[in-house]
Amino acid sequence: MKDMMQVVSRHILLAVLGFLPRERKKRLERWLRGREEYSRLQRADWVLMSWGKSGRTWLRVMLSRFYHNKFAIPGDELLDFDNLKKANPAAPSVFFTHNNYLRNYTGNWHSKAHFDGKPIVLLVRDPRDVAVSQFFQWQYRMRPNKKFINDYPPHGVEITPFQFVMDVQAGLPRVIDYFNGWVETLNARNDVMMVRYEDMRTEPERELSRIIAFTGTPGTEDEVRDAVDFAAYDNMKKLEESRFFKGSGARVKPGDSANPQSFKVRRAKVGGYRDYFSDEECAQLDTLMETLHPVFGYGLSSSITTEISESTDTSENDNGHDLAKQNTGTPTA
């Protein structure tokens, strides 16, 4: 109820102050959204952090299925912050965020202090694939106001995938900057665990087991295997087409049922960004990737191209050296 009232208050306030200059109204809306997110953060048991289009919805479905079985919750509820906890108080509240609007509210543009005391799973993906997937999100699914308040190219403008990916505000440079901003935190804190999308694709049961153990709800091999099977590509397609998850809004439904590029579950590859660009354009992207910290493992020598299918996220969307402390185990207090 508190979350709903904050959202309603935001819409009313922005409507009343519709006369404000666009940029001032943008700052106000981002602050209000940040306040809403901060309120949820305080009540969360753990945080799932990612940049948009990093496979978050796929992981959300796996977690939903695991929690359904673990805590005897009806299976058509898609994990959305504390909805499963309301059904069974033993289930965790999971705060999904990109640390986007939060910074406008807290003022912590480089510090991650507002996450103190919360275990964080940092989900990452090859920034080149992220940027391409974000192009299709922008083109087919993102609402015009979300484009405006997040500094994406304006609604209706005609740009190529390469122009979008090279855009400093929307594309690869912005994704790389975001990733690099987490290196210091990975090195300094023992309650942050990095998970790579590509590792989830090759070893989904291992990676899901790591996540649920790290966040305090370890499962059996059978429970993990069931969750992974449930979130498999073919079944995800069926779930989307049938709108299986009640109350999930736009998270698991197509933007246009006649356009496969607008689906949540769409054809993709690890390293599939190359399909959209010439060799020369790929070389420019690879040059930009040289600015990404090596801890993430996306150097040229680690590039792979594997045929897969993905379930993508719909949401919109901060440097250290000694990485010996990067965590892969259970968080401590």
Both 36 and 116 in one domain: the answer is no
In a domain, 326, yes or no: no
In a domain, 323, yes or no: no
In a domain, 316, yes or no: no
pLDDT digits (tens, 9 = 90+) for 38-62: 999 999 999 999 999 999 999 999 9
In a domain, 272, yes or no: yes
Distance CA(96)–CA(305), nearest Å, equals 28
Both 100 and 38 in one domain: the answer is no
Distance CA(148)–CA(152), nearest Å, equals 6
Both 175 and 54 in one domain: the answer is yes
Distance CA(79)–CA(248), nearest Å, equals 9
- Report the predicted TM-score, pTM, of the whole model to 2 decimal places: 0.84
Both 12 and 74 in one domain: the answer is no
In a domain, 214, yes or no: yes
CA distances from 219 to 62, 66, 69, 216 (A): 12, 8, 10, 10
Both 192 and 268 in one domain: the answer is yes
- Which residues constitute the domain of residue 35? 1-43
Both 279 and 230 in one domain: the answer is yes
- Give the domain CATH number at 238: 3.40.50.300
Both 197 and 159 in one domain: the answer is yes
Residue for token pair 């809306």? 29
In a domain, 279, yes or no: yes
Choose among 295, 103, 56: nearest CA to 180: 295
Both 145 and 8 in one domain: the answer is no
3-state secondary structure at position 76: coil
Both 64 and 31 in one domain: the answer is no
pLDDT digits (tens, 9 = 90+) for 190-201: 999 999 999 999
Domain count, the chain: 2
Both 119 and 202 in one domain: the answer is yes
pLDDT digits (tens, 9 = 90+) for 194-246: 999 999 999 999 999 999 999 999 999 999 999 999 999 888 878 777 777 76
Both 123 and 260 in one domain: the answer is yes
